[in-house]
């Protein structure tokens, strides 16, 4: 697990360097460790050296890891993010077992997550995923649909809309700057932006990312 610790420290220093270069505080950027396809033991190892935010893409995989980790001394402090594609028959499990969802991509999903969020938990924090380049193969709301989606999420009582999320098209070099601009132009700009993965997180931080979602650079290849 020495290699994992080295990668963790390296990513933290790269995050801090990118934030400082952009005139931002390193504390303004949260590292979300994307642990999909990596075993619960890797999550435990990272939790032991201070990581708290973990993201999963598949509900069953996430629930089995949460169960394995339930007796870990810091389990209660772990913060679970969902970053995968959302089928509507999975919304209840997501609303129950996660605190954040980055991949809310259509009105029906927002409505179901709000309706199914247990009353005993605080509102579910959500990002709306934006399909910036109108790619037919990609999830996310179009720019045309975004204002209505943001208005809907603001009305739903059991979700808290915190920001926008993007997975850029391969050829897109300015996606992060564009998403930040789109957010700034909303009637009420949202406080957070979920953007940046292993290959491009420094550029995302330069453009204002508050949540970088990093898998490979932290855990190694999947």
Ligand X SMILES: *Cc1c(COP(=O)(O)O)cnc(C)c1O
Q: Where along the sequence are the contacts to ligand X (CB under 6 A)? A: 34, 36, 57, 83, 167, 197-199, 213-217
Q: Which is nearer to ligand X, 29 or 167 (CB)?
A: 167
Q: Which is nearer to ligand X, 85 or 189 (CB)?
A: 85
CB 210, min distance to ligand X, A: 14
* Gyration radius of the chain over CA positions: 17
Q: Which is nearer to ligand X, 137 or 185 (CB)?
A: 137
CB 198, min distance to ligand X, A: 3
CB 217, min distance to ligand X, A: 6
The span from the CA of 91 to the CA of 109, in Å, is 7
Q: Which is nearer to ligand X, 64 or 147 (CB)?
A: 64
CB 204, min distance to ligand X, A: 11
Nearest residue (beta carbon) to ligand X: 215
Question: Which pair of tokens denotes residue 86?
Answer: 């959302």
Question: Which pair of tokens denotes residue 21?
Answer: 């270069």
């Amino acid at each position: 697990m020495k290699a994992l610790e080295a990668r963790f420290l390296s990513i933290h220093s790269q995050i801090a360097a990118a934030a400082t270069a952009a005139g931002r505080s390193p504390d303004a950027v949260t590292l979300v460790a994307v642990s999909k396809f990596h075993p619960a033991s890797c999550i435990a190892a990272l939790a032991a050296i201070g990581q708290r935010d973990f993201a999963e893409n598949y509900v069953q995989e996430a629930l089995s890891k949460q169960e394995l980790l339930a007796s870990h001394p810091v389990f209660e402090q772990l913060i679970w993010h969902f970053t995968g594609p959302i089928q509507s028959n999975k919304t209840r499990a997501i609303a129950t077992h996660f605190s954040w969802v980055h991949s809310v991509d259509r009105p029906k999903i927002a409505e179901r997550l709000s309706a199914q969020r247990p009353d005993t938990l605080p509102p579910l924090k959500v990002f709306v995923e934006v399909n910036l380049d109108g790619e037919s193969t990609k999830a996310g709301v179009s720019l045309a649909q975004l204002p209505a989606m943001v208005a809907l999420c603001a009305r739903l009582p059991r979700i808290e809309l915190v920001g926008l999320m993007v997975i850029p098209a391969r050829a897109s070099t300015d996606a992060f700057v564009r998403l930040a601009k789109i957010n700034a132009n909303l009637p009420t700009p949202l406080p957070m932006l979920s953007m940046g993965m292993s290959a491009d997180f420094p550029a995302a931080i330069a453009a204002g990312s508050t949540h970088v979602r990093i898998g490979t650079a932290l855990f190694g290849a999947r």
